[in-house]
Amino acid sequence: MSSPKEHYRVVVIGGGIVGASVLYHLTLRGWTDVLLIERAELTAGSTWHAAAGFHALNDDPNIAALQAYTIKLYHEIEKESGQSVGMHMTGGYSLATTPARWEWLQAEWALHQTLGIDARLVTPEAIVADCPIIDPTGILGGLFDPNEGHVDPHGTTHAYAGAARKRGAHIVLRNRVLALTTLPDGGWRVDTEQGPIKTEHVINAAGLWARRVGRMAGIDLPLTPMQHHYLITGDVASLAARPREMPAVTDLEGFTYLRQERDGVLLGVYERNPRHWKTEGADWDYGMELIPEDIDRISPELSVGLARFPELLEAGIRKWVNGAFTFTPDGNPLVGPIAGHRNFWAACGCMAGFSQGGAIGLVLANWIVDGDPGSEVFGIDVARFGTFAGADQYLRDTTAQFYSRRFVIAYPNEELPAGRPLKVTPAYDAQRAVGARFGVVWGMETPQYFAIDQPDFLEQPSLRRSNAHDIVAAEVLATRTAAGLLDTNVYARYEVAGAGAEAWLDRLLASRLPPEGRMRLAPMLAPSGKLMGDLTVTRLAPERFWLTGSYYLQEFHQRWFRELLPRSGVTIENLSESWLGFSLSGPRSREILAQLTREDVTDAALPFLGCRLMDVGLTRAVVARLSLTGELGYEITVPALQQRTLWESLLKHGLPFGMRPIGMRAQDSLRLEKGYGVWSLEYAQSCTPVMSGLDRFIAYEKGNFIGRAAALKAREQGAEQQLVLLAIDALDADATGFEPVWVGERRVGFVTSGAYGHFVKQSLALAYVDRNVVESPTPLEVHVVGRRRPTRILVEPPYDPRGLRLRG
Ligand SMILES: Cc1cc2nc3c(=O)[nH]c(=O)nc-3n(C[C@H](O)[C@H](O)[C@H](O)COP(=O)(O)OP(=O)(O)OC[C@H]3O[C@@H](n4cnc5c(N)ncnc54)[C@H](O)[C@@H]3O)c2cc1C
């Protein structure tokens, strides 16, 4: 541990499991001029007192793959460093004690297969045979995952650090970072207790202090520490007698997890009445101390745990641990570059450092060295939150919700209440008045469906079709036969203008740019040739364009735009919250629009993919002829303060034509009937244009654009998997995403999204499947809520395959 130099290529702040892994992975990529600065000792934050359990399973399969990487890495770093990680690969059982949970576990088991995780469903008898301290009362079954276990947190952190040091990294202990300042050359000055250091890149891996360290750079990160208890018992007689360690057990309905610790056990609790701790981040002088235990608060869960494992009462409690670790609103870590803060990287907000620490290091090192994380990582990308998520109360409410629901079933149709309503559009109250039920996208209230004339309607969370099924059916039917009115507040809009706008967009986007008054679907690629976005580009004037994409991707998009923006000649303005509107679509939409404008809206005057500024009722609107429902349609966008007026006039003039306000559930059904994909589900950073089918919108011949060479190469090689539309013989449930697709016993793909096609009366799904299956179609099966259902590939969409209605 030599004294630090004055300059490093990278400074990592924080020597917990995450910082140590980041340091190691940078050296693995050949970056050895790297320094880790630790305030106290390695592990001195959350890490030292973690229960240090790990598992590969995560609701987001991309994160699950990263967790599997972390687990595999433990043997490597142990070998390389010569430091034991204290590996106990015991496997683990998740218990089902209600019919709903048992059904959910069966569905989870199917998802495990998509991930290639070799889990199995087991009987209560098998669980008790393997875990003799369990009282089997009420257990209906369980899921055994062989990739669960635990490590020694101290040994594991030191193994990363030791291996990094062997590869040339420096580590300085007992040296707090005091301040961070940007330098004119784009680098950073890091002021520390032992003096200043200059560096190109700063990585915030400060764990419990990460919010404070973020603020040193003017960044408000959405993470906050929360308390967490576990206890360690004295020896448990039936364990002491066993020849091998007992597998871990998670009693999901009991809100407890348990694993063997020597001849006793460690029992941890995710209580439903959680507590934050030092919301701003730990005090600077916080040592390796425990928080006093709060047994009364956790006693409801604890008593369930002690009833499930009665022998523990005899063993007695040897030690209580109440410690803190950080949570984000969705429980996933914050990783990656921070938009607008050059060379500042997040590696924090990690609540499962022993499942995810290795992967965070891998992803971040790839990102810094290659400019690309190397896989689909949006689920952990710091850009998935906007500045709104840093507000204290929002953070407290959403993190408490996540913590208290850690083991609660997440239903696909369930909308959770915390931190809401935060962003509402001017039409919100008017939409509520006609029965809107809202979901939330990036803090924005977005209608899911309209329970018209049913003020008391309450949707029941379910893995199966819910009681909102018929409402959505009516919205789909109205859209196909008359018109539907959908809020487009789920879109992000950017205006790109200036003398250099055309040239810049031509390089940014893989499609041709449209002429004035026209729009185009415009894939955006990374240099790797993989997708960066599925935008729509509209030319409003020779040097004025609109780009439209998903609302929740604003930070992600803008981070990319900023990286590429020239110093002059092009401006970008984010209009996502200053312009709002509606999509009016359906066979009668032209007649409805014609009521509200004196402009000519015939096909000749406003053709498919045409766009014009025109009066619509009282408003002056940008009207674009396009829809995502597959019907004749118009996206009508106005300054935000006029959105309510537009809503009122569209409703008034549309209702006599049979129009209905519709929500995102109907939109999903309508888009699947047309086989349209959307970002994050069908299209993602891990996809090439050729596998996703988006290459048909790419103008390879137009000349150079970002990602062209790599995308061309991928096209020549052909895709191993392709996106296809599936018809599933489902009964009362539809696929939701990530269910495996089978040919006999061979897994040939996975579902990306699914819904019931209400108009075509068919359960539908989009899926990536192996190319050979597409080329020689054969009967398939798809898991739907844990049961295999007969499935076939549709060679064309079941609704209007020639697109006549869209162009009508
Ligand atoms: C009771 C408990 C049980 C847990 N159980 C599990 C489990 O079973 N499985 C699991 O995966 N996870 C578990 N965790 C969570 C796990 O501990 C965290 O996910 C992990 O430790 C986070 O690591 P980190 O490196 O991000 O942060 P930390 O461990 O907090 O490390 C941050 C480091 O940064 C240093 N630092 C901060 N500011 C500065 C500065 N200004 N200058 C220099 N250095 C600075 C700190 O001193 C600290 O060492 C548990 C945590 C607790 C408390």
What are the tens digits of pLDDT across the range 636-648? 999 999 999 999 9
pLDDT reading at 775 higher than 90: no
Identify the residues whose C-beta falls under 6 Å from ligand 1. 13-19, 37-40, 44-47, 49-54, 176-177, 205-209, 213, 228, 230, 321, 323-325, 348, 350-355
- The residue whose C-alpha atom lies closest to atom 18 belonging to ligand 1 is 353
Reading the block at residue 624, the tokens are 């674009």
The predicted structure's pLDDT at residue 3 = 67
pLDDT in tens, 485-518: 999 999 999 999 999 999 999 999 999 999 999 9
Out of 46, 151, 321, mutate this one to test ligand 1's pocket (max ligand atoms within 8 Å of CB): namely 46
- Determine which of 53-67, 287-301, 607-621 has the lowest per-residue pLDDT on average: 53-67
Rounded to the nearest angstrom, the distance between the alpha carbon of 49 and the centre of ligand 1 is 9
- Flag whether pLDDT at 1 surpasses 60: no
Residues 646-698 have pLDDT tens digits of 999 999 999 999 999 999 999 999 999 999 999 999 999 999 999 999 999 99
| Closest to 404 in 3D by CA, of 296, 297, 270 | 270
307 C-alpha to center of ligand 1: Å?
A: 31
Percentage above 70 pLDDT, the chain: 100
Write down the residue that tokens 């106290």 correspond to. 40
Question: What SS3 state is found at 629?
Answer: coil
Determine the Cα–Cα distance for residues 586 and 482; give it in Å rounded to an integer. Answer: 5
Whether 531 shows a pLDDT value over 80: the answer reads yes
Instruction: Give the span between the Cα atoms of 755 and 667, in whole angstroms.
Output: 10
Of the pLDDT bands very low, low, confident and very high (cuts 50, 70, 90), residue 115 is confident
558, pLDDT greater than 70? yes
Question: How sure is the predictor about 114, in pLDDT bands with cuts at 50, 70 and 90?
Answer: confident
pLDDT for 241 equals: 84
pLDDT score recorded for residue 14: 98
Average pLDDT over every residue of 73-102: 97
Residue pair 467/460 in contact by the 8 Å Cβ criterion: yes
Count Cβ atoms within 10 A of the Cβ of residue 681 and give its class: 0-12 exposed, 13-18 middle, 19 or more buried. Answer: middle
Confidence of residue 91 (pLDDT cuts 50, 70, 90): very high
Residue nearest atom 51 in ligand 1 by C-alpha distance:
50
What ranges in 221-320 are assigned the alpha helix state H?
237-240, 295-308, 311-315
Q: Of ligand 1's atoms, which has the minimum distance to the CA of residue 17?
A: 25
- How far is it, in rounded angstroms, from Cα 508 to Cα 510? 7
Q: Above 80 in pLDDT, residue 251?
A: yes
Look at 55-69, 134-148, 226-240 and tell me which has the smallest mean pLDDT: 55-69
- Select the highest-mean-pLDDT range: 235-239, 357-361, 782-786: 357-361
Residue 222 to residue 382: CA distance in whole angstroms: 9
d(CA 714, CA 530): 9
pLDDT value at position 423?
98
The pTM of the full predicted model, rounded to 2 decimals, is: 0.96
Span 49-61, average pLDDT: 89
What's 100-163 look like in SS3? HHHHHHHHHHHHHHHCCCCCEEECHHHHHHHCCCCCCCCCCEEEEECCCEECCHHHHHHHHHHH
Q: What average pLDDT is seen over the chain?
A: 96
Measured in angstroms, how far is the CA atom of residue 47 from the centroid of ligand 1? 4
Q: How far is the CA of 39 from the centre of ligand 1 (A)?
A: 13
Query: How much of the chain, in percent, has pLDDT values that exceed 90?
Result: 94
Q: Whose CA is nearest to atom 34 of ligand 1?
A: 14
**Nearest atom in ligand 1 to 348's CA:** 26
What number does the ligand 1 atom closest to the CA of 42 have? 49
Minimum CA distance residue for ligand 1 atom 22: 353
Specify whether the CB–CB gap between 409 and 106 falls below 8 A.
Answer: no
Q: Would you give the end-to-end CA distance of the chain in angstroms?
A: 72
Cα of 613 to ligand 1 centre, how many Å? 54
Q: Measured in angstroms, how far is the CA atom of residue 330 from the centroid of ligand 1? A: 18
DSSP symbols for 639-657: EGGGHHHHHHHHHHHHGGG
Residue-level pLDDT at 4: 75
Ligand 1 pocket mutation pick from 35, 47, 54, 74 by most atoms within 8 angstroms of CB = 47
Evaluate if residue 2 carries a pLDDT over 70.
no
Q: What is the mean pLDDT of residues 56-81?
A: 91
Report the residue among 199, 325, 348, 403 best suited for mutation to probe ligand 1: largest number of ligand atoms under 8 A from its CB. Answer: 325
Question: Strand 721-728 relative to strand 149-150: parallel, antiparallel, unpaired?
Answer: unpaired
Atom of ligand 1 nearest to the CA of 350: 19
585 alpha carbon to ligand 1 midpoint, in Å? Answer: 51
Query: How do residues 12-54 score in pLDDT, each as one tens digit?
Result: 999 999 999 999 999 999 999 999 999 999 999 999 999 999 9
Centre of ligand 1 to C-alpha 352, Å, is: 9
Alpha carbon nearest to ligand 1 atom 12, residue: 352
Q: Which helix (H) or strand (E) holds 25?
A: helix 17-28
Atom 10 (ligand 1) nearest CA: 352
